[in-house]
């Protein structure tokens, strides 16, 4: 990381916050031109719909938030939640191809909007003057694992699909030790959490931390409903983690992301 990137990451993950240990630095290490993309401004994010009213709602010191929305919607939510008193925690464990602009390489997961918003949201986080006791808002991209690549059609593309594991979140014991008594999941879909996230939420539930669900962050909405998480495939099995890692491509710089080999170039690990 250059100095700008380090300063940006430290704004998102200050050492005094107990939640910074879970912030992923991978996207912050991307080329600086992406981090300073001009498409977004702090003012645009501050006024973003449909979250314009959330700043009027004070954060609950005993409540953590998990935001499971498409990339830019998650970044808009991060801005509004920061103004409401939550500490946004970026869990984006993926990378961007370093050659996609020159060689027109297509990434399976578009992270441009997230990259472009890191700087503007950091400005809002500084404006919010959050202290070390601010409760966490864990940020995910709902489109992180869109489909299984085709060995022929998708050859030569950048496979930056990613997933979350229980280790990517604090334990229920850690949550309670820092005053968190419940978690609210915000996502567009009412069909339940994604399979990888269910492995996290169910662990929290089993350890006595209730999880609630809402499709909107606005304080004018109905109260979140208690969520019953269905046991996901291979729950608490080390075999699942191994199989998942074999299907995804790891990046040497950390996180997920690597080129899908063309048929005549060798390689493996198709997911």
Structure confidence at residue 8 (pLDDT)? 93
pTM of the predicted structure, to 2 decimals: 0.86
Q: Does a structural domain hold residue 154?
A: yes
pLDDT tens, position by position, 97-138: 766 555 567 888 989 889 989 999 999 999 999 999 999 999
Q: Does a structural domain hold residue 134?
A: yes
pLDDT over 80 at 163, yes or no? yes
Q: Which of 1-5, 96-100, 136-140 has the highest mean pLDDT?
A: 136-140
Q: Does a structural domain hold residue 265?
A: no
What is the span of the domain harbouring residue 161? 3-259
Interacting residues of 60 by C-beta distance below 8 A, sequence separation 6+: 135
Tokens of 104: 């027109």
Structure confidence at residue 258 (pLDDT)? 81
DSSP class of 141: E
pLDDT tens, position by position, 198-253: 999 999 999 999 999 988 766 566 788 999 999 987 888 877 777 777 677 777 66
Q: Does a structural domain hold residue 267?
A: no
Phi-psi region of 179 (alpha: psi -120 to 50; beta: other; left: phi over 0): left
Structure confidence at residue 261 (pLDDT)? 79
Q: Does a structural domain hold residue 269?
A: no
> Which one has a higher pLDDT value, 192 or 171?
171
Structure confidence at residue 244 (pLDDT)? 72
Task: Give the pLDDT band (50/70/90) at residue 271.
Answer: very low
Q: Does a structural domain hold residue 207?
A: yes
Q: Does a structural domain hold residue 270?
A: no
Structure confidence at residue 210 (pLDDT)? 96
Structure confidence at residue 221 (pLDDT)? 65
Structure confidence at residue 51 (pLDDT)? 47
Structure confidence at residue 88 (pLDDT)? 98
Structure confidence at residue 268 (pLDDT)? 45
pLDDT over 70 at 34, yes or no? no
pLDDT tens, position by position, 47-89: 654 444 444 455 688 999 999 999 989 998 999 899 899 999 9
Structure confidence at residue 39 (pLDDT)? 55
Task: Count structural domains, the chain.
Answer: 1
Q: Does a structural domain hold residue 71?
A: yes
């Amino acid at each position: 990381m250059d100095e700008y990137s380090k300063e940006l990451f430290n704004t998102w993950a200050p050492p005094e916050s107990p939640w910074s240990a879970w912030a992923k630095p991978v996207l912050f290490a991307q080329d600086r031109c992406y981090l300073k993309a001009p498409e977004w401004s702090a003012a645009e994010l501050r006024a973003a719909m449909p979250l314009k009213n959330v700043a009027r709602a004070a954060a609950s010191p005993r409540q953590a938030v998990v935001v499971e929305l498409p990339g830019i919607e998650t970044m808009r939510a991060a801005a509004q939640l920061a103004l409401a008193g939550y500490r946004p925690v970026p869990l984006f464990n993926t990378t961007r191809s370093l050659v996609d602009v020159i060689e027109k390489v297509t990434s399976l997961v578009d992270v441009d909007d997230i990259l472009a918003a890191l700087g503007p949201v950091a400005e809002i986080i500084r404006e919010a003057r959050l202290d070390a006791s601010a409760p966490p808002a864990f940020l995910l991209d709902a489109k992180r694992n869109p489909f299984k690549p085709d060995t022929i059609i998708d050859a030569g593309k950048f496979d930056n699909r990613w997933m979350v594991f229980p280790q990517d979140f604090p334990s229920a014991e850690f949550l309670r030790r820092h005053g968190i008594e419940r978690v609210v999941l915000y996502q567009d879909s009412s069909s339940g959490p994604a399979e990888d996230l269910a492995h996290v939420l169910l662990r929290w539930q089993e350890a006595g931390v209730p999880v609630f669900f809402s499709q909107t962050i606005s304080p004018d909405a109905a109260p979140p409903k208690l969520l019953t998480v269905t046991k996901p495939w291979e729950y608490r099995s080390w075999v699942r983690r191994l199989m998942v890692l074999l299907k995804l491509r790891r990046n040497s710089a950390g996180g997920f992301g690597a080129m899908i080999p063309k048929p005549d170039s060798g390689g493996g690990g198709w997911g």
